[in-house]
Amino acid sequence: MRDTTQPSARADSAAPSMAPPTGPPSDPTAIAALAQVAGRLTELLADAQGHSDAVAGELAAQVATFDTLRGEAQRMGEGARAVETATGAATEATRDARTRSRAAQDQFGQVMADVGALAREVDSLETCVDGLSHALDRVRRVAEDIASVAQMINLLALNAQVEAARAGPAGRGFMVVAQEVKAMSERTAAATDEIGSTLEHLRGSAQQIAATNAAVLRRTGQMQGQATSFAGVMTGIDSAIAEVDQQQSRIDDARQDTAAAIAQVERSIAWLDGSARKAQAGVDGVHRGFDGILATAQRLTADFARLGVETEDTPFIRAVQAAARRIEDAFESALAQGQIGIGDLFDTRYVPVPGSDPPQVTTRFTALTDRLLPPVQEPMLDLSPRVVFCAAVDRNGYLPTHNARFSHPQRPGHRDWNMAHSRNRRIFDDRVGLAAGRSTEPFCLQAYRRDMGNGAFVLMKDVSAPITLRGRHWGGLRLAYRSAD
């Protein structure tokens, strides 16, 4: 819960020791001039420290950005390597596909050659079937001639039997011959009938073979036509695969160029990151130096004030000390009247306010400070037009009750507005806030740059006085005002 409008640094290096010097001043005018110089030096150092804080913040942001960029570059490199792997696999797959395509073309060519040979065999078979049909026709004609001759022989045999019968006993031998001739003619007729039936069966089979052969010829013709189209498709596929292989080669070339560029980007980012980290380390050293110098300058300014030298800060110092005593009296009165217990007044269990942004917290003494602190803090705003705020904080920088102008209810979803107008119930654990809450010196005078937004800064001073109750340090009352310059 840090107040981002003030610089962050270690509080232990910012709380100046207020041990007063010994010996009276010998030249009040010179001492006053030195006090003014010390005060001005404090302001200049605070301003310089503010710039140092800003540079440190920018460098920290750059380092974070470089870390992000390095991560992104590494992911880009990993992506490039993944692309390399995928491209290699795709190239290998394309080449394998091309090999398979060519093998398929070769196999298809062999199949088509076999189909062509089959077509030629079928065509030859058609010629043979035609020859068989002609031969069967010739056999049929011969069989018909034989049948005709057998029929004539049968008629002659019948005539011979008739004549033999007329001849009587003398024609008995001739009758036997006539009978045998007739039987032979009958057997010949039967044989020719069987031959005719067989020939008809063979003719049907030949016609069926011819029809089948014609269908095979048509099918092989269609296969050859489809084969021609398929061959064209296979050629197109092979050409497409070859084009894909060429494009993948171009992709791989571009991938190699991209990988080289990414590697260069990674090296450049690494160099910039190293440079930024070195600069950040240097700024951190400068910041630590400013911490020490500013603490010394603030201690000098405070020492001059303790010597009784009147400076521009003296009225603010006296006013905040007097106001801190009034708060102590109000707390003591509340304790005496039983309005709160001493344990509750020193409560450090900060309970978050649900939904607050930036986070707000409450303690067991928050309600009491809301009643007791405004009558003391609000009049302090009229001390000078330079006064910005006056508010008490505990030892951890917790500010329970702010001035009315900074205590508006938060607006949900409006963080920037809340940061500026809802500053009560917040913990300001920055360098200045912690130093003000933890200092036990009669007063603590600090200087810092306040971020007003949109790149505008105001040089501020913060004077605080401790609040002590029954020997225990509760915190401090802060009075913040603009520098005179």
Would you place residue 2 in the very low, low, confident or very high pLDDT band (cuts 50, 70, 90)? very low
Buried/exposed 79-105: b ≥16 CB within 10 Å, e otherwise = ebeebeeebeebbeebeebbeebeeeb
Helix axes 28-167, 172-306, angle to 10 degrees: 180
What single letter denotes the amino acid at residue 338?
G
d(CA 39, CA 386): 16
Close Cβ partners of 39 (under 8 Å, ≥ 6 residues apart): 301, 304, 311, 312, 313
pLDDT at 348 over 80: yes
What is the model's pLDDT at position 290? 55
**Distance between CA atoms of residues 148 and 157, nearest Å:** 14
- The residue written with tokens 């088509």 in the block is 112
At 12 the pLDDT is 40
Query: Mean pLDDT highest for which of 207-216, 257-266, 282-291, 407-416?
Result: 407-416
73 neighbors 474 (Cβ within 8 angstroms)? no
Of the chain, the percentage scoring pLDDT greater than 70 comes to: 80
Residue 31: pLDDT band (50, 70, 90) is low
Give me the chain's average pLDDT, please: 80
Highest mean pLDDT of the ranges 58-67, 180-189, 200-209, 396-405: 396-405
pLDDT higher for 153 or 14?
153
Residue 8, pLDDT above cutoff 60: no
Q: What is the pLDDT of residues 442-453, one digit of tens each?
A: 999 998 887 755
- Can you tell me the mean pLDDT for 152-172? 77
Per-residue pLDDT at 143: 73
The residue among 88 and 21 whose pLDDT is bigger is: 88
Q: Give 297's contacts (C-beta < 8 A, 6+ positions apart).
A: 38, 41, 42, 45
Q: Pairing relation of β-strands 456-469 and 444-453?
A: antiparallel
Whether the Cβ atoms of residue 475 and residue 467 lie closer than 8 Å to each other: yes
The answer to whether the CB of 331 falls within 8 A of the CB of 469 is yes
pLDDT digits (tens, 9 = 90+) for 122-144: 677 667 777 777 777 777 777 77
Model pLDDT, residue 50:
60
Contact, 452 vs 427, CB < 8 A? no
In angstroms, the Cα distances linking 378 to 113, 392, 405 are 109, 12, 10
d(CA 164, CA 379): 177
Q: How far is CA 185 from CA 41, 164, 286, in A?
A: 158, 18, 144
Write out the two tokens for 19. Answer: 């041990």
What number is the average pLDDT over the span 108-115? 75
* Structure-derived torsion over alpha carbons of residues 323, 329, 331, 334, reported in degrees to the nearest 10: -140
CB contact at 8 A, 178 and 161: yes
Q: Domains of the chain by range and CATH?
A: 72-271 (1.10.287.950), 312-482 (3.30.450)
What is the gyration radius of the CA atoms in the chain, in angstroms? Answer: 60
**Residue partners of 402: CB distance under 8 A and separation at least 6:** 389, 391, 423, 424
Ranges 6-10, 148-152, 320-324: which has the least confidence: 6-10
Q: Is residue 386 scored above 90 in pLDDT?
A: yes
Q: What is the pLDDT of residue 142?
A: 78
Q: What is the DSSP letter of 20?
A: P
- The model's pLDDT over 278-303, given as tens digits with 9 standing for 90+, comes to 776 776 666 556 556 655 755 665 66
| CA nearest neighbour of 42 among 232, 238, 294 | 294
Per-residue tokens: 125: 């078979």
Convert the pLDDT of each residue in 188-243 to its tens digit. 778 778 787 887 887 787 777 778 777 777 777 777 677 677 777 778 787 877 77
Partner residues linked to 447 by β-bridges: 461
Phi, psi of 181 (to 5 degrees): -65, -40
CB neighbour class for 380 (10 Å; exposed up to 12, middle 13-18, buried from 19): buried
pLDDT of residue 49: 56
The answer on pLDDT for 367 being more than 80 is: yes
* Residue 3 or 291, more confident: 291
Strands 426-427 and 387-394, by their bridges, are unpaired
Averaged pLDDT, 404-415: 96
Cα separations in angstroms, 125 against 179, 211, 212, 331: 48, 12, 11, 127
Tell me which of 2 and 109 has the higher pLDDT: 109
Note whether 353 and 436 are within 8 A (CB).
no
Q: What is the pLDDT of residue 41?
A: 60
Q: Which residues contact 127 (CB under 8 A, 6 or more apart)?
A: none
The DSSP result for 7-75, as a single string, is ----STTTS---PPPPS--S-HHHHHHHHHHHHHHHHHHHHHHHHHHHHHHHHHHHHHHHHHHHHHHHH
Distances (CA, A) of 405 to 11, 432, 452: 27, 21, 16
In angstroms, how far is CA 316 from the centroid of its own chain? 56
